[in-house]
A and B are shown apart, each in its own frame.
Chain A
């Protein structure tokens, strides 16, 4: 049956649909709209093409092109220039040339992609998960009062951490248990004498006793120190802590991390953990945490000002529902854009660590490490050993940056330049 011979029924349906699209604008979700805009933008298209190329090539290479870096070694082919036809001197074909151990650079660049992209993905995953969560909590409670559960968690956490310090100093496990309990009590009876001096006196006194009495069994000096610490904890628990306190603690911690230039911090972490790709992922991921925390916090703060959130709160929608139904979905677009660009910088940094000899452990192929391996041979004219791994880094980074640019335009038309 050809297309022309359609039944009257089908023909009617087609006409009906035409009419509907004519009369009403077809329903499109935010995401399908963004997808159309992404496809329409040249930067987005080029970025997607490059990223797709790297992802597909890397997956194909990893699963279908066997490579064992441990046995890849042939000194007779040391530092041969790229060739496309076999000669007597170089019987095999190496489009990208060979490196100092006679290894085919094309092959190692292709296999290095698996490592470089993986580092990028895992590192961004770590930053996004930890930083995003911290930013969400900070932004949300900066505007919302703590509810009973959140307050309980906060106070118990304070009791656990600060009480843990006292318990460690005194060498007595009982203290941490007591302070956690005190935290729980302070949270449960948060309405008791709120804001009055007698509340402070009550909890301060309790903290003083918990700190000092068990410590008396060790020495007087111990009791003094633990008593003072206990008093401080008690007073903290006696204050009615509000949401902004949580936010301040989180963001000040982020400021400390941000006070170090990223690459220096990453090097320090790898120096602490020891070299290796997995350590590099952790280091780069850790360094990125404050970036996402700040981004998510500021987007959450912006969303919390929106009318739909205010309206939701006004009609008595619960905090959790506001958070997950209204706030989280509306902070997604900046997060997606930042993560894409974050992938680009994570790949750059992974390469930097590898270049400095702190990333992949040889002979594992990784772009940065390949550069670090070969740059000493530049003076002998072996440019190919440095050019191709570097090109791979640059192109993949460019791809993610272009895609991120396109995504930003697509997801937030207001930001369009």
Chain B
């Protein structure tokens, strides 16, 4: 088992190396000079040149062939990409060009916001989705089943950005029940330690903040949960239907077990593996930042941060944020794969 995990981690290395190359290359190919972006359009040429040198932007991208022509062996590798990877290995993500704030510091504040939103969404999505899937499968072809399946199809078809706008219009503008955006009312003071506001509020016993944070969380979490919820419901239903045809289910029914026991203890347990897979993959997707949902609800997470940075050409933020997102994504998939072996004793990895 440990050997399998180690082997998987080793095969991840080329992928992660590829990820750094892609991120690096993309940012250099995006039109616009970050030095100009820093200093403004009308900066003097020599200032721009100085900044370019400071940032290392005057170096070649991957390999410096001119240095080699002059016989300079170390200069050959002294390039933007090699410097970038070197900084990464030292744990240095750089600083925002515009605000001069270290990326790592902003990440500490922003990532918990995304985690909070993602986890609450996936919990809602998993509970509702699994329940709907079980009921659908148990009452196959009944009106409940048809409604659930149509609903889940609508759920995967609805554009998240549109749904977000609709619920804002309904609950924030027309009914004024819930706030339209943000994480917490600025008037409320909350001592932040983990930056997961729900936990911070509970730990410090600040009920007012807890209620307000929940209110702010409600709409974005529901909107973000729609898509995973629908997928989980469909997967649970089809997996349950398959298991419900097995002989041991008929045996369980024949010996007079209650329906609930058959469904939950016999069927669900055996139908759960693909469902867990889907939940795991969806968690990875959500943790990777819900750019659209975060943008619509002005949620200060990493998705919105990276999106804003792309538009503002703030290279280091895009690099750091995208890298983090890609790593989370890749590791989430790995965790899902490995968890198979724990959940299903029939699966063995050498």
B-binding residues in A (CB < 8 A): 168-171, 218-222, 224-225, 252-253, 255-257, 259-261, 263-264, 267-269, 271-272, 274, 344, 348, 351-352, 355-356, 368, 371, 375, 378-379, 381, 383, 386-387, 390, 393-394, 397-398, 401-402, 405, 417
Contacts and interface: CB of A to CB of B under 8 A. Distances in A.
Interface in B283-330: 285, 288-289, 291-292, 295, 303, 306-307, 310-311, 318, 322, 325-326, 329-330
B76 A225 contact: yes
Nearest to A341: B156
Given A264-B291, A355-B292, A386-B165, A171 B65 contact: yes
A371 B165 CA distance: 9
In terms of DSSP, what is the predominant structure of the interface of chain A? Answer: helix
Nearest to A383: B169
B58 interface: no
Contacts of A387: 166
Interface of B: 14-16, 18-19, 22, 26, 29-31, 63, 65, 68-73, 76, 153-154, 156-162, 165-166, 168-169, 173, 237-238, 241-242, 285, 288-289, 291-292, 295, 303, 306-307, 310-311, 318, 322, 325-326, 329-330
Contacts of B168: 378
Nearest to B285: A261
Contacts of B161: 351-352, 355, 368, 371
Given A256-B15, A264-B306, A417-B237, A222 B169 contact: no
A352 B292 contact: yes
Nearest to B137: A417
A252 B242 CA distance: 33
Nearest to B67: A221
Nearest to B161: A355
Nearest to B170: A383
Given A256-B18, A260-B325, A264-B325, A221 B76 contact: yes
A271 B241 CA distance: 45
A222 B310 contact: no
B310 A271 contact: yes
Contacts of A253: 18
Contact of B329 (A260, A272, A348, A405): A260
Contacts of B159: 348, 351-352, 355, 368, 371, 390, 393-394, 397
A267 B167 CA distance: 25
5 contacts: A256-B19, A271-B311, A272-B31, A390-B159, A390-B162
A401 B306 contact: no
Given A252-B15, A256-B15, A264-B291, 5 more contacts: A222-B69, A356-B307, A381-B173, A386-B169, A401-B153
B289 to A, nearest CB: 7
B73 to A, nearest CB: 5
Contacts of B68: 169, 218-219, 221-222, 225
Contacts of B303: 264
Contact of B31 (A219, A274, A390, A417): A274
A393 to B, nearest CB: 5
Contacts of A405: 153
Nearest to B73: A221
Contacts of B162: 351, 371, 386, 390, 393-394
